[in-house]
Amino acid sequence: MLGLWNLRQLNLFDGVSPAEMEQIIGIIHIRHCRRGEIVFRPGDPCNKFYLLHHGRIKTYTHSERGQEKIMHIFHPGDAFGGLLFGTRHGELPWAKALDDVVLSFMGEPEFKRFIQTFPDLCMNIFRYIADHHASDMRRLEYFIHTEASHRLVYTLLELGQHLGYNEANQFEIAPAYTHEDLANMIGVVRSTVSEIIGQLRSEGILGGQGRHIIVNRLEAERYLDKVS
């Protein structure tokens, strides 16, 4: 059962009163997904708005050769779905649960009712969409002009930010993010990521052993500054 506390953890609901929260709970639906379960896939209707409360979701496509290309990894507090992806009349990517996850969602009729009932929340949603789009554009522009090692460091710093390590001088990327996942996020094969991680560890930018990756923030930022 999703309660007021769960919704209050989402930035989209900043400034909403308890009475309004009760109304929102009456509009949304709850879905639990097991690790590895497909949340949606190409061909599904593009008419839902999702909020992630627990766990991680990855969206991805496949290249012509069948290689997985990760578009985004969503964390608790993130919103996603066809109503936000701009795919209302297009095709959804794949979305898979990386952990056991808890989602709330609205179909298009509920989403319209939500917007009409709480117009002030539209600004929060628009800001989220704008921030998400700007972040994607920055990543795309950076990836076009840099080598794989810089793309990997950029991605690790971005993951650290999503995990709440904005100020930490060092932080660990959980083993749940495999070398295969990281490879699919930066457009290379797994063996290349393993080689790059070894190189970055020898340079002091990364620490840890095996799948345990420790990011030394200052060294990582200096490494990226060299190509800015």
Tokens for 192, please give them.
């290349």
The pLDDT, as a whole number, for residue 86 is 58
Distance separating alpha carbons of residues 112 and 200, to the nearest angstrom: 49
Which helix (DSSP H) or strand (DSSP E) does residue 148 occupy? helix 148-162
DSSP secondary structure code for residue 12 in this structure: G
From first to last of its 228 residues, the chain has per-residue pLDDT tens of: 454 445 545 667 777 777 877 888 888 889 999 999 999 999 998 899 998 988 999 999 988 888 888 888 898 888 888 887 655 556 789 999 999 999 989 999 998 888 888 887 777 777 877 887 788 888 888 888 889 999 999 999 988 887 777 777 899 987 778 899 999 999 899 999 999 999 999 999 999 988 889 999 999 999 998 875
* Cβ count near 143 (within 10 Å): 16
Q: What is the pLDDT of residue 221?
A: 93
Instruction: Write phi, then psi, for 60 (nearest 5 degrees).
Output: -160, 165
Residue type, 61: T
Where do you find CATH 2.60.120.10 in the chain?
Answer: 4-138, 146-225
Query: For position 7, what pLDDT does the model report?
Result: 53
- What's the chain's Rg over C-alpha atoms? 19
| Per-residue pLDDT, 156 | 94
From residue 86, how far is each of 89, 96, 140, 159 by CA, in Å? 8, 19, 17, 24
Residue 4 confidence (pLDDT) = 42
Write down the CATH superfamily of domain 4-138: Jelly Rolls (2.60.120.10)
Residue 57: the pLDDT is: 94
Pick the closest to residue 154 from 85, 221, 59 (CA basis).
221
- As given in the structure block, the two tokens for residue 66 are 């069948």
pLDDT for 25: 81
Pick the CATH number of 146-225 from 3.30.70.580, 1.10.1740.10, 3.60.20.10, 2.60.120.10: 2.60.120.10
How many CB atoms within 10 Å of residue 39?
Answer: 24
What is the Cα–Cα distance from 168 to 143, expressed in whole angstroms?
25
- pLDDT reported for residue 152: 95
